[in-house]
Amino acid sequence: MSFNNIDRTLFKEFLQALMSLPSADSKSGRDALLSGLPTNVKSSLNRSENPHVDFSNLLDQLQRLGRLTQTGERPLIIMAENASMQSAGTDIGGKFDKIISDLEKHYGGDAPPSEDLPEVPEKLIFEGRDERLPSHFFEQALKTGKSVARLMVPMIVNGETKGESFGTGWLIAKDLMITNFHVAGCFSNETISDPDLKAQAENAIAWFDYHHEGGARIEVRCLGLEAGNPELDYALLRLETTDALNGRSPIPIRIKDKSIADGARLNIVQYPGGGPLRFAVRNNFYVGKGDKPYQLRYLTDTEHGSSGSPVTDDAWQVVGLHHAYRQIPKSEYKGEIIRYHNQGIDIQAILGDLTEFLRKEINVG
């Protein structure tokens, strides 16, 4: 067997995963998986109209190339990363992430260290766990951050402004922002009067791209409250149509019924304390459901002002709306003493509470 050839088991796993892609039956979809390969490499590949044969031929030819002579890049990994991006947040996407990891281990043997060396210069510190992150993780994080805003909501009591409160909101549709009901209600409970709640929503202000205290920001005004539910603790705010929203995409929502595994990473993009944008990543484990089935609990750090933040998986797809913390009996998790869980509302429960009109606007059917 050629040194460049991957293990047959990995070959079969790769082929099966490729055949599971929604784009597998489309020639253009299969072509997209070759994006990033040099033109001369793509033009030299023998192709087939049959998806299974085409993928099998591609894998066989690309593995024989090994690393590209001019750049040292690895064609199989280029293909796997394209497939991973196409299927991010799905079970298939998880398979491609594993395949990429296995391929990296395979190519890591291109030039094994000499037996004469007294020590190996590189090593994963934690056996079976790689804490490194690819650059596209951070690219997607920054893209997500552009769709998250600091909210300043006036506190109105019987028609009079008594101060203001701060929270976080994010784009769930082009000019529709979601936050907590308690943020739109300035931490009042569900007994807040309808006129006061309406006035607060109509006078709330969203700041995008606020990265430094006292620094530049993009301001967008809220026009009113479209929907809300104090039990599920969400509120939808309509934003004014403005060029400031151009280039900001609604944050994608994780596929319905895709379960979250215990210990999965849950990231939160937030404006804590009404201050600049912050990202909570890595020490951020999902620990299970709350007291009610629509509540999610996790160890991701937040503070006052983080209410209304998107809770996302590592593919930066929303799984929940952060809203609270809960004290728990003292326990231990991964060697750390834990006394609190942070808590969010399952985004699917919120979507199920909306009217069909709003669901279509959010593009969830």
Give the number of other CB atoms < 10 A from CB of residue 13.
17
pTM (predicted TM-score) = 0.77
| Per-residue confidence (pLDDT) for residue 34, from 0 to 100 | 96
Task: Return the structure tokens found at 126.
Answer: 């934690």
| Per-residue confidence (pLDDT) for residue 70, from 0 to 100 | 80
> Mind listing the pLDDT tens digit for each residue in 145-159?
999 999 999 999 889
| Per-residue confidence (pLDDT) for residue 116, from 0 to 100 | 54
Domain boundaries, the chain: 8-126, 147-245, 267-353
> Mind listing the pLDDT tens digit for each residue in 261-313?
899 999 999 999 999 999 999 889 999 999 999 999 999 999 999 999 999 99
Do the two domains 147-245 and 267-353 of this chain adopt the same fold?
yes
State the fold for domain 147-245: Thrombin, subunit H (2.40.10)
| Per-residue confidence (pLDDT) for residue 97, from 0 to 100 | 85
> Mind listing the pLDDT tens digit for each residue in 312-321?
999 999 999 9
> Higher model confidence: residue 2 or residue 180?
180
| Per-residue confidence (pLDDT) for residue 1, from 0 to 100 | 37
How far apart are alpha carbons 346 and 100 in whole angstroms?
Answer: 30
CA-based nearest residue to 204, from 323, 352, 308, 325 = 308
| Per-residue confidence (pLDDT) for residue 86, from 0 to 100 | 84
Q: Which residues pair with 267 in a beta bridge?
A: 312
Would you say residue 219 has pLDDT above 60? Answer: yes
Could you tell me the pLDDT band of residue 24, with boundaries at 50, 70 and 90?
Answer: very high
CA-based nearest residue to 259, from 313, 308, 298, 214 = 313
> Higher model confidence: residue 112 or residue 97?
97
Give the number of other CB atoms < 10 A from CB of residue 128.
5
Residue 356: strand, helix, or coil:
helix
Least confident of 164-168, 323-327, 332-336, 354-358: 332-336
> Mind listing the pLDDT tens digit for each residue in 335-364?
889 999 999 999 999 999 999 999 999 988
Over residues 47-75, the mean pLDDT reads 92
Percent of the chain with pLDDT over 70: 92
Could you tell me the pLDDT band of residue 2, with boundaries at 50, 70 and 90?
Answer: very low
> Mind listing the pLDDT tens digit for each residue in 112-146?
445 554 555 556 566 666 777 888 899 999 999 99
Cβ atoms 172, 321 nearer than 8 A: no
| Per-residue confidence (pLDDT) for residue 177, from 0 to 100 | 98
CA-based nearest residue to 319, from 338, 297, 340 = 297
How far apart are alpha carbons 279 and 306 in whole angstroms?
Answer: 11
How far apart are alpha carbons 64 and 73 in whole angstroms?
Answer: 13
How far apart are alpha carbons 26 and 18 in whole angstroms?
Answer: 12
Would you say residue 109 has pLDDT above 70? Answer: no
Would you say residue 327 has pLDDT above 90? Answer: yes
Least confident of 107-116, 203-212, 239-248: 107-116
Would you say residue 54 has pLDDT above 50? Answer: yes
| Per-residue confidence (pLDDT) for residue 99, from 0 to 100 | 93
Q: How far is CA 63 from CA 7, 53, 84, 282, 297, in A?
A: 10, 15, 18, 33, 43
State the fold for domain 267-353: Thrombin, subunit H (2.40.10)
Give the rounded distance of the alpha carbon of 260 from its chain centre.
Answer: 13
Q: What is the mean pLDDT of the chain?
A: 90
Over residues 57-71, the mean pLDDT reads 91
| Per-residue confidence (pLDDT) for residue 336, from 0 to 100 | 87
How far apart are alpha carbons 249 and 143 in whole angstroms?
Answer: 8
